[in-house]
């Protein structure tokens, strides 16, 4: 079997649900002219999303779909349900359909070289959005658009250092990690550790994945509350896990934000609401509204323009007062 038919067979066998944001369209010719590959001459982008694990993710999906529509781009959208094998199948399916550009947010950092090489051999450029891959071969993707997760972790740690600056005793921290092997989990962990290192009073007494979901965040926090005699601080790698943990803390008869201080990442509306109620003490923003920038980027990549290898998202942080002020205009 030729390499091409092997790829086609794999893609055909894949259980990939591909939805189109702007009408049907599909395969089309291999012509890579400026009009794109769809019968209507639209640019066709295959987008493999991580899943629907969090409020952040829902906002990101909406942003990408709306921006594609606005830009007149045909988006083939595939939800990987937090599974790398689903993303690999989706990318192979996009290759088989000869999309113009593939954009994806990799669920984990490792293990992408083979499929990215297949895209490269098919002359289909790839753009990474939100999360990075750890590939050494930079020719496998054109650009990476997203946040600096190490900085986010560092900002969370810096807040803690200031909060406990005035001669406190030992500070016991529990950490709810994101999806194991994902860029935000790896980087938010290392950025935070970096900010508190050299200060022995900060002790991470327990650290476990909550897979970026509310349900898992609650479950793991319940276990932390049972196993840890003294918890001063919860550091959650995203808001959904923090919100699940708040439920566990309240059910255990403790006051979130007071008995246990909480620092989290994302800045979604539900978390800002919890902050305004005193239940989260500090939140580091991670901006999910990447759609417009992504569409701009894929157009440039398709047109063969020079694009930056790395485009960082602008974001800030929230104290409870800033959260209360931002709430009325928060879109997600």
Q: Please tell me whether residue 54 binds ligand AHR under the rule CB under 6 A.
A: yes
Sheet holding 233-236, edge to edge: 202-209, 171-177, 233-236, 261-266, 282-285, 317-318
- Structure letter (DSSP) for residue 166: T
Q: Please tell me whether residue 131 binds ligand AHR under the rule CB under 6 A.
A: yes
Instruction: Please state the length of the chain.
Output: 332
Q: Please tell me whether residue 130 binds ligand AHR under the rule CB under 6 A.
A: yes
Q: Please tell me whether residue 184 binds ligand AHR under the rule CB under 6 A.
A: yes
In this structure, are residues 76 and 99 in contact, taking their beta carbons and an 8 Å threshold?
yes
Classify burial at 331, counting beta carbons within 10 Å of its beta carbon; exposed 0-12, middle 13-18, buried 19 or more.
Answer: exposed
Interface mask (CB under 6 A) for ligand AHR, residues 232-251, using x and -? ------x-x-----------
- Structure letter (DSSP) for residue 15: -
Q: Please tell me whether residue 274 binds ligand AHR under the rule CB under 6 A.
A: no
Interface mask (CB under 6 A) for ligand AHR, residues 251-270, using x and -? --------------xx----
Q: Given candidates 47, 56, 112, 144, which one binds ligand AHR under the rule CB under 6 A? A: 56
| Contact region with ligand AHR (CB under 6 A), list: 37-45, 54-62, 215-223, 245-253 | 54-62
CB of residue 236 to ligand AHR, shortest distance in Å: 10
In this structure, are residues 297 and 143 in contact, taking their beta carbons and an 8 Å threshold?
yes
Decide whether 68 or 286 has the Cβ nearer to ligand AHR: 286
Beta strand pairing status for 18-20 and 74-79?
antiparallel
Q: Which two tokens stand for residue 143?
A: 């650009």
**Interaction site with ligand AHR (CB under 6 A):** 53-54, 56-57, 130-131, 184, 212, 238, 240, 265-266, 286
């Amino acid at each position: 079997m030729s390499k091409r038919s092997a790829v086609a067979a794999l893609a055909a066998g894949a259980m990939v649900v591909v939805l189109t944001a702007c009408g049907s369209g599909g395969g089309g010719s291999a012509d890579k002219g400026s009009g794109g590959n769809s019968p209507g001459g639209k640019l066709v982008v295959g987008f493999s999303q991580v899943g629907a694990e969090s409020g952040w993710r829902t906002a990101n999906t909406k942003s990408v779909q709306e921006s594609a529509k606005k830009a007149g781009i045909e988006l083939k959208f595939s939800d990987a349900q937090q599974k790398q094998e689903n993303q690999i199948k989706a990318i192979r399916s996009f290759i088989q359909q000869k999309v113009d550009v593939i954009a994806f947010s990799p669920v984990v950092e490792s293990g992408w070289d083979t499929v990215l090489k297949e895209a490269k051999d098919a002359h289909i450029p790839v753009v990474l959005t939100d999360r990075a891959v750890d590939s050494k071969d930079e020719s496998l993707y054109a650009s990476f658009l997203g946040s600096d997760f190490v900085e986010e972790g560092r900002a969370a740690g810096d807040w803690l250092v200031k909060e406990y600056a005035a001669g406190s005793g030992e500070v016991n921290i529990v950490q709810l990690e994101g999806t194991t092997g994902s860029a935000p989990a790896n980087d938010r962990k290392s950025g935070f550790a970096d900010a508190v290192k050299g200060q022995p009073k900060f002790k991470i007494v327990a650290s476990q994945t909550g897979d970026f979901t509310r349900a898992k965040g609650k479950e793991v926090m319940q276990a932390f509350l049972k196993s840890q005699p003294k918890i001063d601080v919860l550091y959650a790698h995203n808001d959904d896990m923090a919100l699940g943990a708040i439920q566990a803390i309240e059910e255990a008869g403790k006051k979130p934000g007071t008995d246990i201080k909480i620092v989290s990442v994302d800045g979604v509306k539900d978390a800002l609401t919890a902050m305004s109620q005193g239940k989260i003490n500090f939140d580091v923003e991670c901006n999910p509204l990447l759609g417009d920038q992504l569409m701009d980027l894929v157009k440039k990549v398709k047109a063969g323009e020079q694009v930056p290898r790395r485009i960082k998202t602008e974001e800030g942080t929230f104290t409870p007062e800033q959260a209360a002020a931002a709430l009325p205009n928060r879109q997600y």
